[in-house]
Structures are given as structure tokens and as C-alpha cells.
Amino acid sequence: MTIKQIKRWFELAKPNPTEEDVSAQVGVHFSEVGEMVESIGLGAGGAFRELMSLEEHYLRKRLPVTVRDDEELLDSLCDQIVTAIGVAHMKGYDIEGSLQEVARSNDSKFVDGKPLFNEHGKIMKGPNYSRPNLKPFIKG
């Protein structure tokens, strides 16, 4: 899976993103970071609650995302991609195979090639959704 494939998935889902879509995606991103925090055993702490508060702020309330410096935001997003790949490498995970499996699962959310959205603008799981099976990509 490549960044182009992931980008294409979003282009199909949201060909003309709005500022509300930006808010929703930032909220979803915080939600995923919250899942990471929870997966390493820190789900009960203040950091987790703060992340979930940010998810609520952006995804559910759709409050505007105020970007003070576009170059810094883009740098941060690139660094997050790089460090995520680094964590996967350090843990011995097959990140490329995993991304392919997640892409397959994400495609299963679509109905007749189109996404379904919930009231917060998040893409919902369609009737043919199947969870990604990531066990084969974990070493050990």
C-alpha cells in the first residue's frame, strides 16, 4: 500500500473536503492516537482523557481547526508517518502488509463504491465491513 492509495481512498470518500471535514479528520486522528495510548496501557490516565476530549472537540462538535503555521502542521504530519513506521519496525511488525490489510478493510466500509457517513462526518462501517486481520503481520 502506498500513500497514493490511501490518498485515493480519501479522494473517493471526500472529493471536495470542507472545513468541517478537516475538523472531523483531526478528531478521528486524535481518536486513533488515543487507541495507541490505550494499547500501551495508558488508557486510564490524563493523557488519554485529554485526547478523547480533543476527539470530542473536533469530531463531534466540529469546532474549527485553526492552523497557525501550515508548514509546521505538514512537517508534524510527515514526522508522525515516519515515527509510526519506526515504531512498527522496532516492534517487528510488517507495516506494509498491515497497511494493505487495513486498506482492504477500509474498502469494505463502502457500499456500491460510496462511503456512508455518520452524523459527525466519520465514515461508517457498511453492511459488508470486515475487520482487518493483523495477526499475520505481528512477529513472534
pLDDT above 90 coverage of the chain, percent: 62
Interval 50-61 mean pLDDT: 87
Q: What is the pLDDT of residue 135?
A: 97
C-alpha angle with apex 32: 29 to 35, nearest 5 degrees? 155
Q: What is the pLDDT of residue 42?
A: 84
Q: How far is it, in rounded angstroms, from Cα 107 to Cα 103? A: 6
Q: What is the pLDDT of residue 1?
A: 58
Residue 51 has pLDDT above 90, yes or no: no
Average per-residue pLDDT for the chain: 91
Instruction: Band the pLDDT of 84: cuts 50, 70, 90.
Output: very high
- Pick 8 or 135 by higher pLDDT: 135
| Whole-number Cα distances in Å, 48 to 22, 43, 83, 94, 133 | 22, 5, 19, 27, 25
pLDDT, one tens digit per residue, over 93-135 is 999 999 999 999 999 999 998 998 888 888 999 899 999 999 9
pLDDT above 70 coverage of the chain, percent: 99
